[in-house]
Amino acid sequence: MYPSKLWVIAVSRVLFLCIALSGQSAQVGTHLRTFRVEGTVRTSFMNSTVEGIEVKFEGDNITKTVHSDGTGFYRAELPVGVYKMTASWGAEEKYRRPLFRVASPAHITLNVTLYPDPGSCDTVIVTITHQDGTTVRTPGTTADDSRDICGGQDYLPIASKNGVRFDLFVRYSNRRRSAGENTYSGGFQRPVFAAYNLLTLEADKLVYNAKDQTIKASGDVVIADGSDKTRHADSAAFKLEDGRATPLNKIVP
């Protein structure tokens, strides 16, 4: 016996309603799995905001570019996940931070300050002393020698257990290397900049200990952690592990 037309129509309507509601739920679920990132773009010159700066986010499955408006403000809506972030103004003023992760719907703030690339400097001179006491001064042979006094940037791997390796990124004007420890200094109107996951540090000086995976910043320290609040202190120290930056001392303004 075949079902009546009315019964078929009723079942069809129920199925259509279920599919429609399912689609709406999927859209709501997708929306809930996004986060908002925003901030203000400034240039180090006069600490002024900059319009039209390209701010790019690169993730595993998406790349998104937005631009700062007339007040230097930018905003992007992204799926939760892991991203690299860059910004640039022409060829010389740049901003970069390594992988950061947002694992749940959130509203984070990542302000951007653009600093010019390090200028050229004198060739590194290395003094070699022979066994007979004579010395020879010769240009350094490695790029690391030049970056010690000319400035540059370091990507320092931090061990992680969660499958995502969060590097410590440091941009500096001078660097002093010793066994297991790097000391970074800033230059004229160019502080040391460090980024680890959502932690951002600017300071006159920063010491990174590879064995302990700690960083110690001193001298006009500016600390940001992805919230809309920025803290200032004379010094600060953090333990870096699995994307977390755990304070090792009380941060005193």
Residues 111, 155 within the same domain = no
Domain span at residue 217?
Answer: 151-253
Q: Say which CATH number the domain at 67 has.
A: 2.60.40.1120
d(CA 104, CA 106): 6
Asked whether residue 169 is domain-assigned, the answer is: yes
Q: Say which CATH number the domain at 162 has.
A: 2.60.450.10
Residues 167, 233 within the same domain = yes
- Distances in Å between the Cα of 85 and the Cα atoms of 63, 95, 121, 167 are 10, 8, 29, 13
What is the pLDDT at residue 179? 86
What is the pLDDT at residue 174? 92
What is the pLDDT at residue 226? 92
What is the pLDDT at residue 42? 92
d(CA 4, CA 139): 94
**Within the chain, how many helices (H) and strands (E) appear?**
2, 21
According to DSSP H, which parts of the chain are helical? 5-32, 143-150
Asked whether residue 173 is domain-assigned, the answer is: yes
Quote the percentage of the chain above a pLDDT of 90. 54
Asked whether residue 219 is domain-assigned, the answer is: yes
pLDDT in tens, the chain (253 residues): 445 554 434 445 544 444 444 444 344 444 458 999 999 999 887 789 999 999 999 998 899 999 999 999 999 999 999 999 999 887 667 899 999 999 999 999 999 999 877 656 665 566 667 677 777 666 556 777 778 888 889 999 888 887 788 999 999 999 999 888 999 999 877 899 999 999 999 999 999 999 999 999 999 999 999 998 999 999 999 999 999 999 998 776 6
Domain total of the chain = 2
Asked whether residue 11 is domain-assigned, the answer is: no
pTM (predicted TM-score): 0.77
Asked whether residue 30 is domain-assigned, the answer is: no
